[in-house]
Structure formats: C-alpha cells, structure tokens
A and B are shown apart, each in its own frame.
Chain A
Amino acid sequence: MDLYLQFGYGMMEHCRHLISRWGGGTVVLSPRDLTSEQIQRLGSQIVEMNGRNLVDPQFYDPRATHRRLVNHDYWPEDFDTSMLGGGPVLVALLRQLLSLNDSALADRFIVPGLYAERVDEDWLAVQETIISEAANVVTDRPRLATICLSGEALRFEDQVEMVINAAEEWDVSGVYIVPEHPGNQYLVDDPMWVGNLLVLCSGLKLQGKSVVVGYCSHQMLCLAAARVDAIASGTWLNVRSFTPAKFQELEDDEISRRAKWYYCPHALSEFRVPFLDMAYRFDILDSLRADESLGSDYAQILFSGAQPTSTDYSEQQSHRHYLQCLHQQCLLSSRGSYRETVDACLSMLDTAESVISELHRNGVRGQDRDFGNIIDVNRSALATLEHARGFVLERVW
C-alpha cells in the first residue's frame, strides 16, 4: 500500500520535499487550496521530481461556497440539479476539469462524484451518469470514480453493498473513496464504520479496480488488509479526516490548533510535546523514538538529551516526521497474502497496545490522538472483514 500526499493548507513545500526525498510518489492536488496557476506550477514540479499528480475535483457538494474552489473554471456558475441528468453542462464541466488535469500533468482522472448522505437509487443514477459522460470525455487515461459517503451511510452494510454492486457496471479502472468521518472524529471509534470501509474497499478490489482512499490518518493502515492501493494523508487534521463542511466559505484556512505533535509510529499515537516531557522525566522517552528503518530523522531533536519542550522541534518537522513514518508503514503493511497482511496488522495493534499501556502507566497520554481506545476498534473491524471476505481474500490476493 502506498501513501499519497493529500494536498491541504501548508502542504506545498512538504510535497516538494517529500516527493524529492522519496524519488517519486503521488500528490492529490486540491482545487480548494490551490488556484489553477498553482496547480499547474506545482504539478509540473512534482512530475519533474518523478512524481505523479491527481486532481481531486472536490465536487462533493455542487453548492459549495468556498471561494477558491468555486472560482475554478470547471465549477458551474449556477448549479442546477438538471445538469446531473447529463447533457452539455455536465460535459462542459468534465472538459474544463480535463483541461485542469492536463495542466497538472495528471496521468489519471478522478471523475467527480457527489457526497452521498445515504446510498440510494437516485445517488447511484447520478454516479452512473457522470461516470458514463466522463468515459466519453476522458479517453486517454485511466479514470477513477469518486465515492464520497457520509459517516452514516458507511455504518450500513446494505448501503456499502449497493455501492459495490453498482460499481461492477461502472466504466472506470479504479475508485477514489472519500469517507466522511463520523462526528468529525479524527480517530474513528466506531468499529462498524471502519469494518464497512474495509468491506467496501475489498469488494471493489475484488472487481479488479484500483482503490485509493482519501483523507486518511494512520488508523487506515488497516486498509492494507483490503489490499487498498493507496491511502492519502497530509499535514493538518482536515486532510487526515473528511468533512464536507470544509468546502463551505465559513471554514477558512485558519488552522486553529497550533500544538506541535509527535507521532510515535509503534504506538500508533501522537503526543503533544509537553507529554514527551513526562516520558523524559520517567526516563522512557527513548521508547517513543521511531525505529530507524522508518527513515525519519525529522524528530531527532526531541531525543537529543534535552527536555523535549526546550527544543526547537517545529511544526514542519512534526508534519514531515508523520508523513515519512506513515509512508514507510504503508509500504511495510502490504504482505504477500491476505493472512500475512492481517497478521501484520494485528501484530501492529498488539505492539501499540503494549507500548501505550507502558506510556499510560507513566502519565504519557495522547489525549484525543491516543490510539489506546482505537486498538479494539481496528481489531473488531478486521474481524468484520474476515467474516465478510476472509475466505475469498485468502484465495484471491
């Protein structure tokens, strides 16, 4: 499983830096955060560094009001629901979007898709219309259908299966899944939601489609068990979890929480620097250090012998450390068989549980980014996958 960089606020330099360091990789460009000129410029730079680009149309809500997003040429000026029935307005939108993809040198095309409050025949009909129009407009590169589901829709097995059934007929080679996190949660504590996401991804993979899941945190490392091709993540929480609200004008680029976090990859948890001081005090700070094999030297300063809060550990280092570690964890999470991959996921959870337990004993806690309560959620979700598709995935991998 690969890690794509989900573009968001403050990601420009991170993308250039990490793609250069990795010698390749994929950036999911965000029209909400970039003008068309910026998309063109950054897109070219990424390709020059041997990277690839995708343009997320972010057409989840055609009535979105976010200024930069709606200023793009492809965004319809006066949205009318009749355009979702197909015809010249939709074709024009797709052509404009193709032009933006061309300028970004994107070699795959994300077909726009609407946010589904619930999966029903109406939503599926709109999906089919957009996908079939896109097949006529975009003929020179692979197409990925957007599947943007509400947190509620993902709670229901029947709705997930409706998507899988319908997708059998879609003329696309892959999908770009955008799952709304329920209750605006960063780490999702609903095993049904995570389990159904696994079932959705694996069902689509079994159809031979490539699957990219957007707006992910490290919790989605478990998607390796569904043989997902890539998850996308970024710096701030609003690109590590998805809510349609971010496409409204009210939600601005202001990032309110400026606390610096340290991601401990083997604990699958993040800690604010003052909590690292606690680890320092109890002489267990070194147990939080990321394994060298993950290749992150960005947070080294925290382990230099000084009290963590007294160091110059920066926001930039925090983000790069997170993405570097997650990138390696993604690559390591894919194994040769379903059983090996699930075992690796479970082993990762066992390790995290043991590390977190020791940290908690010493007062080192991740607060709302502590994975302690999420471990069982992911275990349960993996059991859901096992129940739904374990037999099949053991044979088709």
Chain B
Amino acid sequence: MQVIDAQLVQSKIPKLHNLSLLAQGGQKIVFSAIHKEFGDVVVKLAYSSQPDKRIEREIEIVTSCSIPNTAQIYEWDTFEHNDTNITYIVEEFIHGVTLRRELKTSGRLSTRLVLSLMEALLETAMAMEKEGIVHRDIKPENIMICDDGTFKLLDFGIARHLAKTSITPTDAHFGPHTAGYAAPEQFRNLKKKVDIRTDLFAIGVVAYECLTGSHPFVDGARDRLDILRRTEQMIPPLLQIDGDTDNRLAKYIIVLMSKYPSRRPPTAAIAKQWFDSMRESLNTETE
C-alpha cells in the first residue's frame, strides 16, 4: 500500500521542493529534493505502525558522532499520517555514482583507486571504532564515488552501537546482514563477537571485488545459503596484482577477509597502520 507520496512529504516538510522518487522498498521510501536551506538533499522516510527503532538508531549514530566520509544529516523528525508513524531524515545529496554502478560499468577498479577506497573506508572504520559503532552493511551499493573522486559510506540503517542494547532479537538465527559481505559472526548473530573487525571483513571483500571485478563468495553460488556457506568455508585465492611486490596488498586483503575474527587485524587503527606501511611500498610501484 502506498502510504507516502511526494505531495504528502512536501506538505509535511515545506522547505522541500522538486521531490523525485529515488527508491522504494519494504517500509522505506527515498526521494531526492531541493531544500531551501541546504540545496540538494536526499529525504529518507520510514513508516510503520510502531516507531522505527533502526532509523532512530541511525539518526542517533550519524548525528552524535563525527565520522568522516559519510553523508551529513541535516534534519530529522517524525509525524503521523493515517495512524502510521513516519520518521524522516533529510541528508546531504552526494553527487556521484554508487560503487556498484561503477563496477557494472567498468568491470573493476584500478589498483590506485582501490587503495584510495580502502584508505577512506579504513579512516571511517577508525572513527566508528572510537565511537563504538559497527556499520554492518559495507558493500558497493552503500559506497558512493563522488564527483570529486572521494568516497562516502552511506546507510547506517543496520549499524550497531556496541554499548547500547541490540535491536535484533538474541534468539534470531540470522543477524541483519547482506550475504556475501557480512562476516560469519554477523550473519550467525553472534552478537558478542561483532565488533569493528566485522566491518574490516566487509572492507576486505569490497576491495577484493573491486580489484577482480568478481565476487569471491557470490559469483557461482547457487543461492543465498550457498553464499553464506562459501563465506564460512572458502578461502579466496591470493590475488596477483601488478606492482604488488611480495603480494603484500593481496595478503593484506586476505587477512581482512579471514573468516575468524582473531585472524583479522585486532582494531581498525591497527588495520589502517598496516595499510599505510604496506601502501608506502606500493605507491611507487602502482602509480
């Protein structure tokens, strides 16, 4: 049932005009619009009979923390319409394309671009780590390549604040996840084991996919359960990357993608530190 349309949104948020539908699914709807004060914006709305805890958590995380390389939230609020709770977020419109679209167009990314992407994601992970946040949904669909060549991580919709009570029921067999990018401890709903290393796993998968143009767990899988099985059991082959003397970058990515958290870098800060020292030796070789 269509609950929200552009007309309704404009009537509730009068500072918006030129609304255009971007995406719709589940109990969410997303518009692009022009805001009188902020210019180009994205408006995300979630509707349900009960207040949406996830969108509330997303607002709380993005507005209370200083996380680089993410879209800025300008304003948010809730209103009721026909006995339905509607929560909305007005956030920065990122001019660019999603990493998914870029992969579809170009097949894969250059090593130099992948290194920049990894640097941005690791910086973001470091900031999230300081705040006790795990994004839990790092994937090409949620990464924007901006027109100025920088990267932004979007959608904190299933992010977890480690110090706060989990929204997912403890007895749920699977935790919220995207198959192929979620680490085993995440989709197995081992809540106590989910920390920033879970995001490092996804960063590794994204980097692997960008370098090869193929997904190590998804491509060739029969179905979603097969993707999860492969994520738990498969060790992707070591990549051969031009200029990657001694396979340093390739090994680093495999370490990020380790199925056991204990085998990944222990913190995002250490992951970044290792990345920097590894990159130093790569820069001259890959540029």
Contact = CB atoms under 8 A, between A and B. Distances in A.
A126 interface: no
Contacts of A396: 266, 270
B251 A391 contact: yes
Interface stretch (B14-22, B144-152, B166-174, B256-264): B256-264
A389 B261 contact: no
A395 B264 CA distance: 12
Interface residues of B, number: 14
Contacts of B261: 165
A165 B274 contact: no
Contacts of B274: 395
A328 B254 CA distance: 37
A395 B277 CA distance: 10
A165 B262 contact: yes
Contacts of A391: 251-252, 254-255
A390 to B, nearest CB: 8
| Chain A contact residues: helix, strand, loop or mixed | helix
Which residue of A165, A169, A203 has the most chain B CB atoms within 10 A of its CB atom? Answer: A165
Residue among A203, A388, A392, A396 with max Cβ neighbours from chain B (10 Å)? A392
B276 to A, nearest CB: 12
Given A165-B193, A395-B274, A203 B262 contact: yes
B255 A206 contact: no
Interface size class of A (residues with CB under 8 A): 10 to 19
Interface string A358-397: 0000000000000000000000000000001101100110
A203 B266 CA distance: 11
B268 to A, nearest CB: 15
Interface string A164-175: 110001000000
Nearest to A168: B262
A161 interface: yes
Nearest to B259: A161
B263 A388 contact: yes
Contact of A164 (B254, B255, B262, B265): B262
A31 B262 CA distance: 35
Interface in B234-287: 251-252, 254-255, 260-263, 265-266, 270, 274
B152 to A, nearest CB: 29
Contacts of B255: 391-392
A164 B262 CA distance: 7
Nearest to A165: B193
Contacts of A206: 262, 266
B20 to A, nearest CB: 47
Contacts of B270: 395-396
A391 B253 CA distance: 11
Contacts of B262: 161, 164-165, 203, 206
Q: Which of B252, B260, B262, B266 has the most CB of A within 10 A?
A: B262
Contacts of B266: 206, 396
A161 B260 CA distance: 7
Nearest to B193: A165
A169 B192 CA distance: 10
Residue among B254, B255, B260 facing the most chain A CB atoms (10 A cut-off): B260
A392 B265 contact: yes
Contacts of B260: 161, 164-165
A389 B251 CA distance: 11
Interface string A125-145: 000000000000000000000
26 contacts: A161-B260, A161-B262, A164-B260, A164-B262, A165-B193, A165-B260, A165-B261, A165-B262, A169-B192, A203-B262, A203-B263, A206-B262, A206-B266, A388-B263, A389-B263, A391-B251, A391-B252, A391-B254, A391-B255, A392-B255, A392-B263, A392-B265, A395-B270, A395-B274, A396-B266, A396-B270
Interface of B: 192-193, 251-252, 254-255, 260-263, 265-266, 270, 274
Given A169-B192, A391-B255, A396-B266, 10 more contacts: A161-B262, A164-B262, A165-B193, A165-B261, A165-B262, A203-B262, A389-B263, A391-B254, A392-B263, A392-B265
What 7 pairs across the A-B complex have the smallest Cβ distances?
A161-B260, A164-B262, A203-B262, A391-B255, A391-B251, A395-B274, A388-B263
